[in-house]
């Protein structure tokens, strides 16, 4: 299958709070470099660079003023004399009376973020925009490819970095700024797909994708993730979150216990895939986080490298055109192997 990437991801490498100290983020440039090297070494297929995309594709999913904020935050931050990464310090949590965007950049940072996990540096916007370009380019390539014969399970791989699934309509968080998977799913709808599904297999619940499609019936969101009672993002991802309004019944969360291994994972995966087929899905977007790996430094499942081959096989068995969008995975030595194993398993 085709892999799409962008070297612009190198422009972004922020900090994060680790156990009360500020350190370089786990979400590092060598992640995407490792995956790309493994794609090339594995013979998965051709590799192409992303094509720049219109800004309207971003504002078709995200609030326009949130996109404006992302684009201008670094300039506003440095105009007030700072030169390190911009991070929020105050959030409009329940109980506080002001609910609109403040004027000062320090207020805006909290208004447009769920946590302090999405730092904004000099190159962040360029990298973030390029990451969305990667997803859109890979989606277009998939939709433009000849239908072929057989099961219908054709794929393309968007090697996005930074990731996207924690980014909601109007906030960043969890290393994510623009929701690459949602932006691609929305373009699929604009290009005529009547029913789309996003299957999120990252260890962390995809709260941003859920937020974006929560009141829509055309895009089903299904996610397997660590139970938010004990796992980030803590405040979303419970099974009772099933959608709202026209979207009621089109959001499917499968929280799983700390320490879940492949044997416990696979029946739930198959249930999610059954739900996706029952939706009448015409195009599947997979938010492919490989932080479900047993060695991941910030996650708590126990999938092994060979399990990712099986993961790809199971997804292929749904028989759908499938866009894989890179999300998390932080054991850098292994994420190339685990991501590419998923894709090789899908290819059969």
Exposed, middle or buried: residue 78 (CB in 10 Å: 0-12, 13-18, 19+)?
middle
Partner whose footprint covers residue 88, from ligand SP5, Zn ion, none (CB < 5 to 8 Å by kind): none
Piece of the chain touching ligand SP5 by CB under 6 A; list 33-41, 104-112, 169-177, 210-218: 169-177
Q: Is 336 in the site for Zn ion (CB under 5 A)?
A: no
Number of residues near ligand SP5 (by CB under 6 A): 16
Q: Out of 166, 204, 279, 300, which one is annotated catalytic?
A: 166
Burial class, 122, CB count within 10 angstroms (exposed 0-12 / middle 13-18 / buried 19+): middle
Is residue 166 part of the annotated active site? The answer reads yes
According to the binding rule CB under 6 A, does residue 18 interact with ligand SP5? yes
Q: Which of 52-60, 101-109, 174-182, 213-221 is the region at the interface with ligand SP5 (rule: CB under 6 A)?
A: 174-182
The answer to whether 322 and 315 are in contact (CB under 8 A) is yes
Residue 204 near Zn ion by CB under 5 A: yes
Query: Which 298-337 residues touch ligand SP5, going by CB under 6 A?
Result: 298, 327-328
Please report the sign of the dihedral spanned by the C-alpha atoms of residue 160, residue 341, residue 187, residue 247.
Answer: negative
Peptide bond into 233 cis (omega under 30): yes
Examine residue 291 and tell whether it contacts ligand SP5 (CB under 6 A).
yes
- Cis peptide before 162, with omega less than 30 degrees from 0? yes
Q: Does 226 bind Zn ion (CB under 5 A)?
A: no
Output the smallest distance, CB 99 to ligand SP5, in A: 25
Element (H, E) at 253: strand 251-256
Question: HSE (CB half, 13 Å, CA atoms) of 289?
Answer: 35
DSSP state of 113: B
Closer to ligand SP5 by Cβ: residue 145 or 298: 298
Token readout for 279 is 């939706």
Identify the residue among 33, 115, 227, 291 touching Zn ion (CB under 5 A). Answer: 291
Candidate ranges 99-107, 135-143, 206-214, 285-293; the one touching Zn ion (CB under 5 A): 285-293
Site for ligand SP5 in 93-132 (CB under 6 A): 117
Check residue 174 for interaction with ligand SP5 (CB under 6 A). yes
> Nearest 5°: CA angle at 244, between 240 and 250?
75
The two beta strands, 219-226 and 196-200, are parallel
Q: By the criterion CB under 5 A, which residues form the site for Zn ion?
A: 202-204, 289, 291, 328
Q: By the criterion CB under 6 A, which residues form the site for ligand SP5?
A: 18-19, 117, 163, 166, 174-176, 202, 204, 232, 289, 291, 298, 327-328
């Amino acid at each position: 299958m085709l892999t799409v990437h962008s070297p612009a991801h190198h422009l972004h490498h922020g900090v994060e709070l680790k156990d009360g100290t500020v350190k370089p983020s786990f979400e590092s440039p060598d992640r995407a470099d490792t995956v790309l090297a493994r794609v090339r070494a594995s013979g998965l297929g051709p590799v192409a660079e992303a094509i720049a995309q219109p800004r309207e594709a971003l504002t078709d999913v995200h609030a326009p003023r949130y996109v404006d904020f992302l684009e201008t935050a670094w300039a506003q931050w440095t105009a007030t004399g700072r030169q390190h990464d911009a991070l929020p310090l105050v959030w409009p949590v329940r109980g506080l009376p002001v609910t609109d965007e403040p004027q000062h950049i320090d207020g805006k940072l909290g208004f447009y973020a769920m946590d302090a996990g999405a730092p904004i540096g000099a190159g962040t916007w360029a990298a973030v925009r390029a990451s969305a370009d990667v997803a859109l380019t890979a989606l277009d390539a998939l939709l433009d490819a000849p239908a072929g014969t057989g099961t219908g399970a054709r794929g393309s791989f968007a090697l996005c970095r930074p990731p996207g699934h924690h980014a909601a309509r109007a906030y960043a968080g969890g290393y994510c700024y623009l929701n690459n998977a949602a932006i691609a799913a929305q373009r699929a709808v604009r290009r005529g797909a009547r029913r789309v599904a996003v299957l999120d297999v990252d260890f962390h619940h995809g709260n941003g994708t859920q937020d974006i499609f929560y009141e829509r019936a055309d895009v089903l969101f299904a996610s397997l993730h660590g139970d938010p009672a004990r796992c980030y993002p803590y405040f979303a991802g419970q099974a009772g979150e099933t959608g709202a309004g026209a979207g009621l019944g089109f959001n499917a969360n499968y929280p799983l216990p700390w320490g879940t291994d492949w044997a416990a994972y696979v029946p739930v995966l198959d249930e999610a895939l059954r739900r996706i087929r029952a939706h009448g899905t015409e195009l599947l977007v997979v938010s492919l986080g490989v932080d479900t790996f047993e060695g991941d430094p910030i996650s708590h499942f126990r999938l092994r490298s060979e399990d990712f081959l099986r993961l790809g096989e199971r997804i292929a068995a749904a028989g759908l055109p499938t866009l894989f969008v890179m999300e998390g995975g932080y054991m850098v030595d292994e994420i190339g192997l685990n991501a590419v194993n998923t894709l090789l398993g899908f290819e059969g």
